Amino acid sequence: MAKEKDDLIEKLLEDIDFRKLKPEQITGESGLLKQLTRRLVEKAMNAGVFINPAFGVFRGC
């Protein structure tokens, strides 16, 4: 399972040319990391998954 996740993440990232991005485009206020995190959390919540950084991830009823 871990290998499949690594492969999926690699596939998602392979089209990004990080050499052409400025650091703030990756980690800045509206950077790629923040946008991906927001989208990931939104998708998880829409799937009924509750995410709390202090307590972990829980599947809804």
Q: Please give the average per-residue pLDDT across 28-36, as a whole number.
A: 94
- Identify whether 4 is part of a domain: no
Q: Please give the average per-residue pLDDT across 16-45, as a whole number.
A: 93
Cβ atoms of 48 and 60 within 8 Å: the answer is: yes
* In the block, residue with structure tokens 């399972």: 1
Range of the domain at 34: 17-53
Q: What angle do CA 11, 3, 39 make, to 5 degrees?
A: 50
Q: What is the pTM of this model?
A: 0.68
Dihedral of alpha carbons 21, 26, 43, 9, sign: positive
- Identify whether 37 is part of a domain: yes
Query: What's the number of domains the chain is made of?
Result: 1
Euclidean distance between CA atoms 55 and 40, whole angstroms: 18
